[in-house]
Amino acid sequence: MPQIYRRALAASVALLAPSCSALKTFDALVPKDSDGVRVATAVPYGDGPRRKLDIYAPRRSSDGAPRPIIIFFYGGSWASGTRAGYAFAGRALAAQGFVTVIPDYRLVPEVRYPGFVEDSAAAVRWVAQHGRDYGGDPDSIVLVGHSAGAYIAAMLALDSRWLGPDRRVVKGFAGLAGPYDFAPFDVAASRAAFGNWSRPAETQPISWASAGDPPTLLLVGDRDRTVMPRNSVALARKLADAGVAVKTLHYPQLGHVGMILSFARPFRGRSTVLADVISFAKQVTSANMPAPEERAKTLSVVSQPSRYRR
């Protein structure tokens, strides 16, 4: 195994720590996606140092038509993470033809719920207003997130309180290893982020799943012991029962961190996570996307194994 792959693997183990510094190290070590480049950095979408975002775009020029947009929300127990630490994800998604936005948001203990959701909603509204300035189609946005970031993306996609009429621009939601049904709050991270809220059910994405929600892809590592796979299974069933187009993909050999590491070039051969997210994003942003009732027939698979590569 080449040295850089061994070093990247060691860095991936360090990602289990709360600190985001390991992710910065990891991003510096992995080979870069030359077809996806950062075109803007530290763009403010609100006041304060944590309300900024980075933007990535395909290197190759297109026919001039605006490209669909992916907004990626990183995880970290709502208490850690930086947009710089996930540059590898921004480049990976942009290399597949999407304008990709990675926002920071305020973290615990500076804020508790709903502060990080409010910030993320403000980032989506900013992209809807300014995405065209960076070659994106602000009417064609897909929300993607990992772990705590998947929670944030789910709340924005399913709970209309946050985006209001702007939710119409969200064409799909893809969540990797997300917590969607985890009340009561019995671990330190969830108590710190949500323990002050007197109505726990309001904080849970599954509480808001209903007819009219955007198409959803839920990706699950069956070896995940940080966020149990039952979260995705329960949400998928509720969405399917409401007639929403939803699919759940299981990756038998992946754990919690392995899901997001699948976006990085050294690890893509181990799973199809990135390819599956891109396939979904292309489908839901296609001009030929079927009507909602036909869409539900196409995507509504509560659970199926992925095309896992050993």
Summarised one tens digit per residue, pLDDT across range 125-152 is 999 999 999 999 999 999 999 999 999 9
pLDDT score for 290: 56
Give the residue among 46, 104, 30, 96 at the shortest CA–CA distance from 74. 104
Does position 18 have pLDDT exceeding 50, yes or no?
Answer: no
d(CA 137, CA 217): 21
The answer as to whether 105 is a domain residue is yes
| Cis? peptide before 2, omega within 30° of 0 | no
* Closest C-alpha to 221, from 152, 170, 267: 267
Locate tokens 């300014």: which residue?
130
Residue 262 lies in a domain: yes
Q: What is the DSSP letter of 112?
A: -
Check whether 300 has a pLDDT greater than 80: no
Domain that holds residue 53: 3-305
Q: Give 227: exposed, middle or buried? Use CB within 10 Å, 0-12, 13-18, 19+.
A: buried
Please give the Cα distance from 91 to 159 (Å, whole number): 29
CATH number for 196: 3.40.50.1820
Q: Is the pLDDT of residue 14 over 50?
A: no
DSSP type of residue 221:
E
Number of domains in the chain: 1
At residue 269, the pLDDT reads 87
The predicted structure's pLDDT at residue 294: 57
pLDDT at 202 over 90: yes
Residue 91 confidence class, pLDDT cut points 50, 70, 90: very high
Q: Say which residues have a Cβ less than 8 Å from residue 202's Cβ, sequence separation at least 6.
A: none
Choice between 109 and 6, residue whose per-residue pLDDT is larger = 109
- Indicate if the pLDDT at residue 219 is higher than 80: yes
Kindly tell me if the per-residue pLDDT of 67 is higher than 60.
Answer: yes
* Span of 54-58, 93-97, 257-261, 289-293 with lowest mean pLDDT: 289-293
Instruction: Please count the other Cβ atoms lying within 10 Å of the Cβ belonging to residue 7.
Output: 16
Residue 310 lies in a domain: no
With respect to residue 286, please indicate whether it lies within any of the assigned structural domains.
yes
pLDDT score at 282: 98
Strand-strand pairing, 136-146 and 99-103: unpaired
Check if the beta carbon of residue 45 is closer than 8 Å to that of residue 29.
no
pLDDT tens, residue by residue, 241-295? 999 999 999 999 999 999 999 999 999 988 999 999 999 999 999 976 555 555 5
Tell me the CA end-to-end span of the chain in Å, nearest whole number: 16
Q: How many residues does the chain have?
A: 310
**3-state class of 265 per DSSP?**
helix
Q: Supply 24's token pair.
A: 């910065």
What is the Rg, in whole angstroms, of the alpha carbon atoms belonging to the chain? 18
